[in-house]
Amino acid sequence: MSVLMKYWKPLVLMLLVASLLWGVQHYRNKYISEQARADAAQSLASNRQSTINDMTVQQRDVAALDAKYTKELADAKAQNDALQRKLDNGGRVLVKGKCPVPAKTEPTGTASMGDAATVELSPVAGRNVLGIRSGIINDQASLRTLQEYINTQCLK
């Protein structure tokens, strides 16, 4: 008998065991890589959900901030509009102010305007003052809104 005939059964058995070991190792490695991929996908999904939750809270905060300052601005505009209607209906715009009293170099008979006197403006000047006031109110509201937005949203 030849050597091949004598050892064919153990040789087939060794090939069978080797192929089984290779198959087990192959599927084990595949399982490990799929498990790592699934873990990475779960981590990514968790991170995305956390980001979505943070963005939802941030949007709610910004909406509340916007509502607050929009209401303030609407109230100030309504007050300014009421003053404008009063002026249009024949009302007056009075401005209080201080005037510096110049050094007296003239005789004592000189008249001067005292501090905290009230000056009446013409209707055109009154409208101009109300327009300027409206612009100042808008600018101040915008600045307060932006400052609070930066403090509450950007500096977190």
pLDDT (tens digit, 9 = 90+) per residue, 92-135?
A: 777 776 766 665 555 555 555 555 667 777 778 888 888 898 89
Rounded distance between C-alpha atoms, residue 125 and residue 135, angstroms: 15
Q: How far apart are CA 65 and CA 152, in angstroms?
A: 10
Whether pLDDT at 88 is above 70? yes
Phi/psi for 107 (5° steps) reads -60, 165
Look at residue 22 and tell me whether its pLDDT is greater than 90: yes
φ/ψ of residue 96, rounded to 5:
-95, 145
Judge contact between 61 and 153, C-beta under 8 A: yes
Q: pLDDT at position 108, please?
A: 56
Instruction: Please tell me the distance from the alpha carbon of residue 21 to that of residue 39, in angstroms, as a whole number.
Output: 27
Q: Is the pTM of this model over 0.75?
A: no
Question: Three-class SS string for 28-70?
Answer: HHHHHHHHHHHHHHHHHHHHHHHHHHHHHHHHHHHHHHHHHHH
Question: CA quadruple 92, 125, 74, 66: dihedral positive or negative?
Answer: negative
pLDDT at residue 51 tops 80: yes
